[in-house]
Amino acid sequence: METGQSIGVFDSGLGGISVLREIVALLPQEDYIYYGDSGNAPYGVRPAAEIHALTMKGLEILISQGIKALVIACNTATSIAGEDIRRRYPRLPVIAIEPALKPAVLSCKNGTILVMATNATLKEDKFRCLMESYAGQAEIIKCPCPGLVEFIERGELDSPAVEEFLRNRFAEFSGKNITGIVLGCTHYPFVRSMIQKVTGSKVRIFDGGAGTARQLARRLKTASLLKSSEESGSIKWLNSSPNPEIINMSRHLFRA
Ligand code: DGL
């Protein structure tokens, strides 16, 4: 691995761009290759074996570009394939996002925390273990949101239909005093303002993007792989979707 190589960032689609934004804000001098598998999104409603196979196939494309580090900017892929990825690429620094339950529990002690994520993420043992490690410190409620990723893949972030989807989704928790929400899917930060509007300004919202960026910076520093801060960086966009607009949409979301 060499300092001048790019950093690969992977997601099932456009969601990982919310993580890429945080990474570029912290490490603007680096070169990035973003691969979104929008042609196969959403992953979260697929069986685990399919998610595993699609993730590995997408990663092969990034690895073939000769990257110096890999960011799994997809909670679903981390849950299903995180350990296998580390085993398959033992020399590559791999940084994998996870639902930001820790900061949520620390700031909402004794409160009620809703974890919004895909069905696949919430079903996996990895999440069960994470949830159990905070048992007794807060009430943690799983909130799978099938259907939400599709709005973001279409670039629809603040339409009345998104608002209606969220109001319907949160209706069952109206009797609960929700104090915090964890965005456990990298697509969801793009509808953060709408989630805040629907749940009210008192609810605190957490996502793992900034923490993932800090972890990447630490790993690159330890491995002496950071580019000098005087250099300028770049982003190369790759996507499996046949939609000719997908790269423009990616750039647009990056600036959103
Ligand atoms: N962005 C992904 C995540 O963080 C998954 C969305 C999907 O493809 O279902 O979980």
Q: What is the pLDDT of residue 109?
A: 76
| pLDDT given at position 33 | 98
Q: Which domains does the chain have, with CATH numbers?
A: 7-97+209-255 (3.40.50.1860), 101-207 (3.40.50.1860)
What is the whole-number distance in angstroms between the Cα of residue 155 and the centre of ligand 1? Answer: 15
225 CB near ligand 1 (under 6 Å): no
User: In this predicted structure, what is the pLDDT of residue 108?
Assistant: 84
User: How many angstroms is it from 224 CA to the middle of ligand 1?
Assistant: 31
Cut 0.85: pTM above it: yes
Q: How large is the average pLDDT for residues 219-245?
A: 95
Q: Could you identify the residue written with the tokens 């919202």?
A: 205
- Each residue's pLDDT tens digit, 144-162: 999 999 999 999 999 999 9
108 catalytic per annotation? no
pLDDT in tens, 86-105: 999 999 999 999 999 999 99
Burial class (CB in 10 A: 0-12, 13-18, 19+), 123: middle
143 part of the active site: no
CA-CA-CA-CA torsion sign (253, 173, 111, 140)? negative
Q: What is the pLDDT of residues 40-99, one digit of tens each?
A: 999 999 999 999 999 999 999 999 999 999 999 999 999 999 999 999 999 999 999 999
Could you tell me the CA-to-CA distances from 101 to 41, 53, 112, 150 in Å, in that order?
25, 27, 12, 24
Report how far residue 32's alpha carbon sits from residue 251's, in angstroms, rounded to the nearest whole number: 13
Q: Where are the beta strands (DSSP E) in the chain?
A: 6-11, 31-36, 67-72, 94-96, 112-117, 139-144, 178-183, 204-207, 234-239
pLDDT score recorded for residue 43: 98
For residues 213-238, average pLDDT: 96
